[in-house]
C-alpha cells in the first residue's frame, strides 16, 4: 500500500455568483502542533466517546517496501489536547474499520485461519482508560485463501476469485452489515449479517438463492432504529442473460432483509439507467435519490427520485429531473459534446422542510507509470473531479442544481483529496483544500487554482436554500503548516462540529470547525 501522498494538482471552477464571505457562519480553532514518531501512516478510524474524547486510530508503516507494522491510537480531550496514546503493535493484514462504544475501542479485522481453512472476522477490543487489547471471533466463513478477499466494492467488480466480503456502516454508525460471497464445493453462497455496534448479531440471512442469475455489489445501507430491518442498495450484475446493444449488464436493486425474509425492488425503467442511488429512511417512507442516464454509458442527464413504502418497497412516486441547459452551460461553458460521467454519491441532507440536498463527485481511476530509482512501475492514479449538488423538494421535483468544477489527481492517501459536505438547516457547506487567491475568469466564473503547494489552504463554500454560492478561506496555510485530511473528518451533528486531522511526516495537529 502506498502511503506517500503525491503532489496533488487541484482546480476548482465554481460557477454562478459568489457572494460576500461574511455571510458564512463557520469558524474554527486549532489544537497544538505535536511531534509524532511515525512518519508513514494512514487513518483507519476516528470516533468520539461518551466523555467527548476524540479517538483516532492510525495504521503505521515501515520497512522497504512499506508494510503495516502496527496501529497507533491517540486520545484527545474536548479542548483538542492529546491526553493519551498507545502503540498497539499488531499490524494485521486486512484491518477493516474501528469504532468506540461504551468506553471501549473496537477494531474490526478480516484474517485467514490456515488451520481451520476459514476467513474470520475478528474484533480487537480495549478499554479507553487503560489500553489492554483482547481478541474475539465475530464470524467465521470456511473458504480457500484468495489474493484479495475485499475485492468487491463500488469501484471494483471482481466476482471470480472464490471469496469476497465487504462491511457497510450506516450513516449513524450504529450498525454495520457484513456481506459474504463464497464457494462451498461447486455451489456459490451469499450471506448477509447485521450487527449493532454492541456487536450483537441482529440479522443472519442466507441470500444464496438470489445469486443464481445475478452477482450483487452493494454500495450503501440503511437500518431501522430498532436494528430489525436492513436495506441494502447496490448493483445486480446479470450472469447469463443476453444483452441488447442498448442494455446495461446490471441494474440497481434495493434489498430489504428482516427476520421473516427478504424483499427486493428493482430500478429498471426502460430507457432510464439509474446510477449512484442512495436510500434514505424517513418514517414509513424510503426515499431514493440518485442520477440517471438515457443511455447505458453513464452519460448522466439528470437526477431521479423514488418514494417507496418502507415496508413493502412498492414505489409510490417517481420523478426524473433533467439537468437544465443553464446547468450544463455553467458546468462546461460552451464546450461541444460535454457530458457528465462517473458520479459517485457523497452525501445527502434532509432539510427541516423535508427537502433533499444531494451531492456527488466525479471519480475514476487511470493507470500510469512511476519512475523511481532505477525502475519504472505501474501505478493507479485516483481522480476526484467535479462536485454536483442538487436540491429536490419534498415531492421529488428538482428546484436547482449547482456545479463546482475541479480536478484532483493523487497516487497516495486519498484523505487529503476530495471534499467533505455538511448540511445544516437549509444550507450545505463544502470543505475543500485549495489555493491562495481565487481568480475571476468571467462574470459568472471564479477559479480556485492550486498547483503543487505542500500546505493548501482550507476553504469553505456555502450553498444556501436558493442555490446561491459564497465562499471564504477558512484556514490559512501560514496558520496550519500541514496538509489537512479534508475528506476524513469526524462529524458531530449534535454540536455542528467537524474535526479534521492535519499531518505530514512527524508533525500532526487537529482543526475543529464549527458551523454556527
pLDDT at 373: 59
Closest residue by Cα to residue 305 from 343, 358, 353, 232? 358
- Mean pLDDT in order along the chain per 10 residues (516 residues): 44 52 86 95 96 97 93 98 98 95 98 97 97 98 92 60 91 96 87 98 96 92 98 91 71 97 95 93 96 80 96 98 81 63 90 96 86 74 88 96 82 89 97 74 56 75 92 90 95 96 96 96
pLDDT at 285: 97
Q: Cell digits for 397?
A: 421535483
Q: Which domain holds residue 191?
A: 10-515
Rounded Cα gap, residues 267 and 437, in angstroms: 45
Which CATH number belongs to the domain containing residue 488 in this structure?
Answer: 2.130.10
For residue 4, being part of any structural domain is answered with no
Rounded Cα gap, residues 43 and 39, in angstroms: 13
pLDDT at 328: 77
For residue 317, being part of any structural domain is answered with yes
For residue 5, being part of any structural domain is answered with no
Rounded Cα gap, residues 180 and 92, in angstroms: 20
Rounded Cα gap, residues 249 and 9, in angstroms: 35
pLDDT at 1: 39
- Model pTM score: 0.91
Taking CA atoms, 297 is separated from 249, 341, 342, in Å, by: 11, 8, 9
Write out the E strands in 89-148.
Answer: 94-101, 104-113, 118-127, 134-142
pLDDT at 333: 63
Rounded Cα gap, residues 107 and 51, in angstroms: 19
pLDDT at 337: 57
pLDDT at 240: 74
Whether the bond into 65 is cis, omega within 30 of 0: yes
pLDDT at 300: 86
pLDDT at 179: 96
For residue 483, being part of any structural domain is answered with yes
Rounded Cα gap, residues 322 and 302, in angstroms: 4
pLDDT at 500: 98
Rounded Cα gap, residues 512 and 506, in angstroms: 20
What backbone torsions phi and psi does residue 330 show, to the nearest 5 degrees?
-60, -35
Rounded Cα gap, residues 154 and 218, in angstroms: 7
Q: How many domains does the chain have?
A: 1
Rounded Cα gap, residues 405 and 408, in angstroms: 10
Amino acid at each position: 500500500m502506498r502511503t506517500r501522498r503525491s503532489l496533488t494538482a487541484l482546480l476548482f471552477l465554481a460557477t454562478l455568483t459568489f457572494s460576500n464571505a461574511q455571510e458564512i457562519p463557520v469558524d474554527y480553532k486549532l489544537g497544538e502542533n505535536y511531534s509524532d514518531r511515525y512518519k508513514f501512516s494512514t487513518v483507519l478510524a476516528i470516533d468520539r466517546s461518551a466523555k467527548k474524547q476524540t479517538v483516532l486510530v492510525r495504521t503505521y508503516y515501515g520497512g522497504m517496501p512499506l508494510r503495516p507494522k502496527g496501529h497507533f491510537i491517540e486520545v484527545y480531550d474536548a479542548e483538542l489536547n492529546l491526553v493519551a496514546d498507545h502503540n498497539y503493535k499488531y499490524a494485521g493484514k486486512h484491518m477493516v474499520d474501528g469504532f468506540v462504544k461504551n468506553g471501549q475501542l473496537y477494531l474490526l479485522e478480516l484474517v485467514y485461519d490456515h488451520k481451520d481453512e476459514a476467513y474470520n472476522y475478528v474484533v480487537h477490543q480495549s478499554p479507553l482508560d487503560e489500553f489492554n487489547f483482547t481478541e474475539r471471533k465475530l464470524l467465521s466463513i470456511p473458504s480457500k485463501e484468495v489474493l484479495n478477499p475485499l475485492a468487491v466494492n463500488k469501484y471494483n467488480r471482481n466476482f471470480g476469485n472464490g471469496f469476497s466480503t465487504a462491511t457497510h456502516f450506516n450513516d449513524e454508525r450504529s450498525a454495520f452489515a457484513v456481506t459474504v460471497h463464497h464457494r462451498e464445493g461447486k455451489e456459490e453462497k451469499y450471506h448477509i449479517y447485521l450487527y449493532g455496534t454492541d456487536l450483537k448479531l441482529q440479522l443472519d440471512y442466507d441470500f444464496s438463492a438470489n445469486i443464481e442469475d445475478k452477482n450483487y455489489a452493494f454500495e450503501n445501507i440503511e437500518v431501522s432504529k430498532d436494528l430489525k430491518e436492513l436495506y441494502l442498495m447496490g448493483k445486480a450484475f446479470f450472469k447469463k442473460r443476453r444483452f441488447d446493444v442498448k442494455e446495461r449488464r446490471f441494474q440497481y436493486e434495493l434489498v430489504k432483509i428482516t427476520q421473516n425474509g427478504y424483499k427486493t425492488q428493482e430500478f429498471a425503467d426502460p430507457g432510464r439507467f439509474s446510477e449512484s442511488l442512495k436510500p434514505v429512511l424517513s418514517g414509513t417512507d424510503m426515499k431514493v435519490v440518485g442520477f440517471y442516464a438515457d443511455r447505458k454509458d453513464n452519460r448522466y442527464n439528470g437526477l431521479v427520485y423514488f418514494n417507496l413504502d418502507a415496508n413493502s418497497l412498492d414505489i409510490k412516486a417517481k420523478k426524473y429531473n433533467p439537468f437544465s441547459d443553464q446547468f450544463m452551460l455553467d458546468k462546461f461553458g460552451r464546450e461541444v459534446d460535454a457530458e457528465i460521467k462517473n458520479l459517485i454519491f457523497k452525501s445527502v441532507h434532509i432539510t427541516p422542510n423535508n427537502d433533499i440536498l444531494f451531492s456527488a463527485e466525479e471519480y475514476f481511476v487511470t493507470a500510469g507509470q512511476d519512475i523511481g530509482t532505477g525502475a519504472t512501475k505501474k501505478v493507479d492514479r485516483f481522480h476526484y473531479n467535479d462536485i454536483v449538488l442538487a436540491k429536490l423538494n419534498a415531492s421529488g421535483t428538482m428546484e436547482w442544481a449547482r456545479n463546482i468544477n475541479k480536478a484532483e489527481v493523487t497516487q497516495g492517501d486519498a484523505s487529503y483529496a476530495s471534499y467533505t459536505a455538511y448540511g445544516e438547516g437549509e444550507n450545505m457547506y463544502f470543505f475543500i483544500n485549495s489555493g491562495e487567491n481565487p481568480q475571476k475568469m468571467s462574470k459568472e466564473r471564479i477559479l480556485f487554482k492550486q498547483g503543487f503547494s505542500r500546505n493548501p489552504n482550507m476553504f469553505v463554500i456555502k450553498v444556501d436554500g436558493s442555490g446561491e454560492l459564497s465562499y471564504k478561506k477558512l484556514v490559512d496555510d501560514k496558520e496550519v503548516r500541514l496538509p489537512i485530511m479534508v475528506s476524513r473528518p469526524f462529524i458531530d451533528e449534535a454540536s455542528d462540529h467537524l474535526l479534521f486531522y492535519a499531518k505530514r511526516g512527524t508533525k500532526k495537529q487537529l482543526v475543529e470547525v464549527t458551523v454556527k
